[in-house]
Structure 1
Amino acid sequence: MKILFVAAEAVPLAKVGGMGDVVGALPQFLRKMGHDVRVFMPYYGFLSDKLDIPEEPVWLGSAMFQEFAVYETFLPGTDVPLYLFGHPVFDPRRIYYGEDEDWRFTFFANGASEFAWNYEDWKPEILHCHDWHTGMIPVWMQETPEIKTIFTIHNLAYQGPWRWRLDQMTWCPWYMQGHNTMAAAVQSADLVSTVSPTYAKQIQTSAYGENLDGLMSFISGKLWGILNGVDVERYNPETDRYIVENFNAETLDQRAANKSALQEELGLEMNEGRFLMGMVTRLVEQKGIDLLLQILDRFMAYTDAQFVLLGTGDHYYESQMWHMAARYPGRMSVQILHNDGLARRIYAGCDVFLMPSRFEPCGITQMMAMRYGCIPIVRRTGGLVDTVKHHDPLNQDGWGYCFDRYEPLDFFTCMVRTWESFRYPQYWREMQKRAMSLDFSWDKSAQEYVRMYKQVLGLSQTDLLPEEKRALGLPVDEPETSTVSAS
């Protein structure tokens, strides 16, 4: 199958949220399974710092009365062909934000459609579009029924420009339905997917549907929920070069060196017995930062815990966290920046990882944290339901701590329970082992995506082909050979 991923982000080149992890990792696994998968993304001004890009484009096009160029290279360290959409509007060294965001990504989607229609050297069978930035592509591709479209919702809260604004910027066909880009995309795409089974159900309710719950229920017959995976080779505590001491589930004693190193790096009191909490997140309301601000001060006063935060976001949340850190020198560290190496050291050095999300389509950081033996504290929502099982001390089952209601007291109570459990090292160690033994690789998810691609192309939904099984390391049933005797 020939599949073109169209997205605003792709790890390791451009990442703000989980979309970047998906677009950077999933194509690699699909190519191993024998499929011709390529990626189309904007040529941001900072990309030339990260990879070699040919000076000559492979294709020139025009859209929305603008000329653009497409350059071909590869995702770093992979065999995944990468097409970069070049235009001065993407020259600034940023991914999102700015007054021109609606225009620049609508232009990007238009350029991707023109490329799919007119680039003669390679024609996709499927355009896999990600979030509102590519939402107009399924609308336009209705003109070309031989090219199928799949639209993946990574975060329903961001729905793109309204219809009246789209009419000002670009071509909106007479058959287009929907009051904004997201609504138009889900109605026009051949199939729609979300990044976890629970989130696929939740967006059909008023609590999580972002005013599109009726529409999501209406298109539920073509709605898939496929859990994201983690690049287990890239994020591997046994081989990670960004952490001080490598370890695995059987050598957890070596993990303590990472905790000490993290405390030293961030200016915290170096004490292995301290309850060290971590967060790697965007500082936005979705991530439950308002809950954290209501209870963290009290929890820090009540316990001897330490806290580490890494991320950027709303200036209000940034300043509030900075002010709180100033009240707890040697116990709190707030790092307002993006730093993948530090994120890994937080996973490897912290005892617990906080994700009190208001909603969470999938969440990848909790899976990374568990892979590094860091116990998650999460709210039961979206993909957090699908990945974290509440600890049952009686039966020694589960690998995290969960709370239900989006209330400060519930979050506080869950944190206190976790802090008390930490005081029993033997049981804590067993919980870490259970968390680290979970399989969050892309193998299972890739199989589900292949089934979805086959459905949209009308192919047989039989088991995986032998070459697909071999790529995933699955057993292959060889055909039986019979001996026919001649009489």
Structure 2
Amino acid sequence: MRILFVAAEAHPIAKVGGMADVVGVLPKVLKQLGHDVRVFLPYYGFLPEKLTIPSTPIWQGYAMFHYFQIYETRLPDSDIPLYLFGHSAFLPKRIYHGEDEEWRFTLFANGAAEFCWNYWKPDIIHCHDWHTGMIPVWMHQSPDITTVFTIHNLAYQGPWRWKLEGMTWCPWYMQGHNVLAAAVQFANKVNTVSPNYAQQIRLPEYGEKLDGLLRFLGDKVTGILNGIDPDIFNPETDPHIPQNYSAETLDQRVVNKLALQEEVGLEIDRNKFLVGMVTRLVEQKGLDLLLQMLDRFLSYTDTQFVIMGTGERSYETQLWQMASRYPGRVSAQILFNDPLSRRLYAGSDAFIMPSRFEPCGISQMIALRYGSVPIVRRTGGLVDTVFHHDPITETGNGYCFDRYEPLDFFTCMVRAWEGYHYRREWRALQQRGMAARYTWEQSAQEYHALYNSIYGLPPTHGLPEASVALEKEPLTVS
């Protein structure tokens, strides 16, 4: 099939959240399955610093009373064609924010539609989040082009209908009060980035006022779990960590712990329980829950805590204040640094994700891969990837709590702290986590089946023989 991914982000050239990981990796794996996959992305002002981009466009179009240019290059480390939508609205060196955000991404979506109608015609346009939400609406008049719409975060739904009508063409048949509501109705298939999140968004608590519509759509909405690249996130070969190791050589992992303690200013002590967190500093990630609980937990235990990320200024300030109250025990790294994040995964004993909601989550998969035991709230994709440790049956790969309450989070943290002191059982817990395989190969086969379902084909139709055999094997986590 000819498939065009249209999105606002793609790893490693333009990344803010998990969408970038999907768009940056999934097309490469789908190409190995035999599809002709290409990517359509805005031409951000910072991209020439990361890519070699020809100065001459391959095509010029017109949308919303503006001319735009399309430039062709390749996704890094691949032969995947990358089309860049060139317009002055994307010249600033930023991906999101700004007063013109809704207008410029509506223009981007309109440009992608014109590109498909007039230059390269795909069988399927795979759209990602509200930034591309008008494409399924417009393609409704082109039955030879089908659409898949992936919801990465339902909380962001794009401009309202009244504002859209002042910016672009809204067909007479369009339904929905905003972009995302229209997208899920007109796309041929809709998916979220984890099976559990696909069910949760049908409930008022998580549905962001679209739960009724999503329940009405029924089986049209499914969930496919994201994955990680096991070659990129591999503690045996990672060049960013001081000491490489495997599940069989976990004794060597302590070198990374000691190096991390020294790098971020914690007391150097191999026996202290070191908890890490890499996150955007926003409410969704459970920062208010963490800040309510952390003081008491640090008073009760000898735990060390290191957090890395940027976001809302109020959270940044409170974390700085927490670090000043607990020198040598708390470190707040208010920045984003990929090599440091790898060292944090490799050096921490446990990794926390107390999310209010989590469509999928990539961090817990990386933590498992590096032997850092996840401590998570049971929501969204965290339910699909982290299973509560039972020391009696020796099952599970992390620690989980259900209610979004400080006491529940505190209790879960204490259980993990106590479990850490049973070193033989803790090592077995780490090894079970490292044995889990959440890879893009598995996810790509599910997307292949989703594409086939649009045309009424069997799930494995067109898959290479080896991939069909792999699909029949269950995903193991122990």
Distance in 2 (alpha carbons) for counterparts of 1:125 and 1:246: 44
Q: Is the partner of 1:28 in helix, strand or coil?
A: helix
Corresponding residue for residue 44 of structure 2? 44
Question: Where does 1:181-200 land on structure 2 (aligned, <5 Å)?
Answer: 181-200=179-198
Q: Is the partner of 1:402 in helix, strand or coil?
A: strand
**Quick check: 1:463 aligned with 2:441?**
no
Q: Residue type of the partner of 2:190?
A: V
Corresponding residue for residue 107 of structure 1? 107
Alpha-carbon contact 2:452-2:461 (below 8 Å) kept:
no
Q: Residue type of the partner of 2:409?
A: F
Q: Is the partner of 2:173 in helix, strand or coil?
A: coil
For each residue in 1:341-369, what CA deviation from the matched residue of structure 2 results, as whole angstroms up to 9, or x when unmatched? 11111111111111001111111110011
- Per-residue deviation, 1:254: 1.3
Alpha-carbon contact 2:442-2:471 (below 8 Å) kept:
no
Corresponding residue for residue 420 of structure 1? 418
Question: Where does 1:219-368 land on structure 2 (aligned, <5 Å)?
Answer: 219-368=217-366
Q: Residue type of the partner of 1:37?
A: V
For each residue in 1:84-133, what CA deviation from the matched residue of structure 2 results, as whole angstroms up to 9, or x when unmatched? 111111111111111111111111111111111111xx321100000001
- Per-residue deviation, 1:446: 0.8
Distance in 2 (alpha carbons) for counterparts of 1:81 and 1:409: 50
Corresponding residue for residue 479 of structure 1? none
Distance in 1 (alpha carbons) for counterparts of 2:215 and 2:467: 36
- Per-residue deviation, 1:460: 2.0
Q: Is the partner of 2:103 in helix, strand or coil?
A: helix
- Per-residue deviation, 1:463: 2.9
Alpha-carbon contact 1:263-1:270 (below 8 Å) kept:
yes
Corresponding residue for residue 93 of structure 2? 93
- Per-residue deviation, 1:332: 1.3
Q: Residue type of the partner of 2:235?
A: P
Distance in 2 (alpha carbons) for counterparts of 1:287 and 1:35: 35
Distance in 2 (alpha carbons) for counterparts of 1:363 and 1:156: 14
Alpha-carbon contact 1:443-1:472 (below 8 Å) kept:
no
Distance in 2 (alpha carbons) for counterparts of 1:190 and 1:460: 14
Deviating more after overlay: 383-392 vs 41-50: 41-50
Question: Where does 1:142-161 land on structure 2 (aligned, <5 Å)?
Answer: 142-161=140-159
Corresponding residue for residue 475 of structure 2? none
Q: Is the partner of 2:340 in helix, strand or coil?
A: helix
- Per-residue deviation, 1:474: 4.1
Q: Is the partner of 1:323 in helix, strand or coil?
A: helix
For the structure 1 residues 326 and 65, does the alpha-carbon distance in structure 2 shift closer, same or farther, using more than 3 Å as the test? same
Distance in 1 (alpha carbons) for counterparts of 2:347 and 2:259: 8
Alpha-carbon contact 2:445-2:471 (below 8 Å) kept:
no
> Which TM-score applies when normalising by structure 2?
0.97
Alpha-carbon contact 2:43-2:90 (below 8 Å) kept:
yes
Distance in 2 (alpha carbons) for counterparts of 1:473 and 1:50: 38
Q: Residue type of the partner of 1:323?
A: Q
Alpha-carbon contact 2:397-2:429 (below 8 Å) kept:
yes
* 5+ residue gaps, structure 1: 477-487
Alpha-carbon contact 1:379-1:406 (below 8 Å) kept:
yes
Corresponding residue for residue 69 of structure 1? 69
Distance in 2 (alpha carbons) for counterparts of 1:31 and 1:323: 48
Q: Residue type of the partner of 2:458?
A: Q
* 5+ residue gaps, structure 2: 473-478
- Per-residue deviation, 1:333: 1.3
- Per-residue deviation, 1:306: 1.0
For the structure 1 residues 166 and 418, does the alpha-carbon distance in structure 2 shift closer, same or farther, using more than 3 Å as the test? same
**% identity of equivalent residues:** 65
Corresponding residue for residue 482 of structure 1? none
What CA RMSD, in Å, does the superposition of the two structures yield over aligned residues? 1.3
For the structure 1 residues 473 and 21, does the alpha-carbon distance in structure 2 shift closer, same or farther, using more than 3 Å as the test? farther
For the structure 1 residues 407 and 460, does the alpha-carbon distance in structure 2 shift closer, same or farther, using more than 3 Å as the test? same
Instruction: Write out the 4+ residue segments of structure 1 that deviate beyond 2 Å after TM superposition.
Output: 462-467, 469-476
Corresponding residue for residue 53 of structure 2? 53
For each residue in 1:202-259, what CA deviation from the matched residue of structure 2 results, as whole angstroms up to 9, or x when unmatched? 1101111011000000112211111111111111111111111111111111111111
Q: Residue type of the partner of 2:10?
A: A
- Per-residue deviation, 1:182: 0.6
Corresponding residue for residue 22 of structure 1? 22
Distance in 1 (alpha carbons) for counterparts of 2:409 and 2:275: 14
Q: Residue type of the partner of 2:150?
A: T
- Per-residue deviation, 1:465: 3.7
Q: Residue type of the partner of 1:76?
A: P
Question: Where does 1:397-476 land on structure 2 (aligned, <5 Å)?
Answer: 397-456=395-454, 458-465=455-462, 467=464, 469-470=465-466, 474=470
- Number of equivalences: 472
Q: Residue type of the partner of 1:67?
A: Y
- Per-residue deviation, 1:470: 3.5
Alpha-carbon contact 1:33-1:472 (below 8 Å) kept:
no
Alpha-carbon contact 2:42-2:84 (below 8 Å) kept:
yes
For each residue in 1:130-149, what CA deviation from the matched residue of structure 2 results, as whole angstroms up to 9, or x when unmatched? 00010011011112110000
Alpha-carbon contact 2:460-2:468 (below 8 Å) kept:
no
> Which TM-score applies when normalising by structure 1?
0.95
For each residue in 1:304-357, what CA deviation from the matched residue of structure 2 results, as whole angstroms up to 9, or x when unmatched? 111111111111111111111111111111112221111111111111111001
Alpha-carbon contact 1:141-1:148 (below 8 Å) kept:
yes
Q: Residue type of the partner of 2:347?
A: G
Deviating more after overlay: 124-133 vs 296-305: 296-305
For the structure 1 residues 292 and 258, does the alpha-carbon distance in structure 2 shift closer, same or farther, using more than 3 Å as the test? same
Distance in 1 (alpha carbons) for counterparts of 2:324 and 2:140: 56
